Structure formats: C-alpha cells, structure tokens
Amino acid sequence: MTTLVQFKEIEKGIGLITLNRPEAANALSLQLLKELNETLNDVAKNRDIRVVLITGSGEKAFCAGADLKERKTMNEQQVRETVRLIGSTVNQVEALPQPVIAVMNGVAFGGGLELALACDIRVASTEAKMGLTEVSLGIIPGAGGTQRLPRLIGVGKAKELIFTARRISANEALEINLVNAVYDKEQLLEKATELALEIAKNAPLSLIQAKVAINKGIETDLTTGLKIEELAYNELLHTEDRMEGLVAFQEKRQPQYQGR
C-alpha cells in the first residue's frame, strides 16, 4: 500500500513531512489523516528534529482540503467524526513543540489552508493559490479557519475572504501577511530549507519556549502574556544550552547546542 505521508530528515535537524496523494491533490482522506497523526506523534517526540517542514507531493497541490469524494459516501455522523479528526490533526500540527514551516508548493483550499494556518511560518510558490472556500459548498471552515485566519490577517480581511470564498494568489497572500515569502517553484524547498537551517542553529529548548510564549500569550491580555513569557523564560535558566550560549559568546565562537 502506498504511504500517504512521508517523513525524512533532509538536513541535520530538519524534518520534512510530505502529503503524498498527488493524484488527489493531496486531499485529506481518512487514511492520510491517520498516517499524518502517527507521523506528528513521532516527530513531536524526536529531539533530533529541531524544525519541521510540511509540503505536498507533486507540483500542483499543497493540500486541496477534505476529500470530498470520500465525504459523499458518509452519513451525517461519519461526517461529524471526520471533521473532528481533521480539526484535531490540524491542532496537532500547531501543538508540535518544534517550529513548523508550511511549504505551499501549490493549491491550498479549505482544510489545506487551515493546515497551513496551523504552521508557524508559511512560504509559497508563485503558482500557489489559496482560500477558505467552504461557504461556497454550504458549510464553513471547520478546522480552525474562522479562528486562526482573523488572528493572522485581521478580522475584516478574514471575513472578506471567508464570506466570499475567494481564491487568492500567492502574491495577494503575501500582501495581506497570510504568507511570509513567495518564491519560484524551483527554489521553494531550497529557500524553505535555508530558513529552517537559520532557525535550527539556535537553542532548541529556546525555540520551544519561544513558541509557547507566543502562542499562549497572543490569546491573552498583555499582563497575562508577560507572565507567560516570564514562566517560559524561567524554564531555560537551568539548562546546559543557556550556559553554552554564554560561554560561546565569551569565546567568540558558534554555540553547540544539545537541547539539554
């Protein structure tokens, strides 16, 4: 049986997750979701992986969202369970301790864009198109799109995109800060890997705590957020990596972080 989710370490400390259903635009079938959950569980526990990239197989699609052909065969209860599964899988991406970069090599619609929104950073091919298109299908985004998109690009613009079900280009996405950068498709993975390596050279425990402080703090008022930052900072005070950073600075050399 074909593996629908592939994982490999493409550089030291850089893990690449690939959705591998190119014939179906990497749509989120039940089997793909099962394999993705298993992969995410393994990656979350792998201390050797410091940054995670997520992309789609082929040249046309990052992820086209839910598998609507499969969905047509389901009864109402099965649909509810599948929507919950997509939502929990997307949440699991957001909950990965490592920084996660969505490498959007093609279309990202519905659940596919929601998957990208759960990543920390998004880079896209010039040919990528994206949108939360659910209202055109008689539903609404059900895997975090109504919550994550407004937090990322602002309420007004998010409502416009969701209410119209509009599909936008990568350059339009860049203009509204939906993606961080846009590259030619031939350069996309290389540029994403360069960014990942730039991140991975830093202390892995610091990356984890910085992600916690940002993700948890953004949901609260400033006073609470500052307390969350303080607690995250304190988690690092007794680490070997913090001492290594100080010694390396004094010795004018690159630190060798071990994640301890």
Catalytic residues: 114, 134
187 secondary structure, DSSP code: T
Burial class, 1, CB count within 10 angstroms (exposed 0-12 / middle 13-18 / buried 19+): exposed
Closest to 109 (Cα-Cα) out of 139, 151, 80: 139
Give the span between the Cα atoms of 105 and 59, in whole angstroms.
6
Residues 6+ apart with CB under 8 A from 23: none
Residues 201, 203, 206, 211, CA torsion sign: positive
Q: How many CB atoms lie within 10 A of CB 126?
A: 14
The answer to whether the beta carbons of residues 74 and 30 sit under 8 Å apart is no
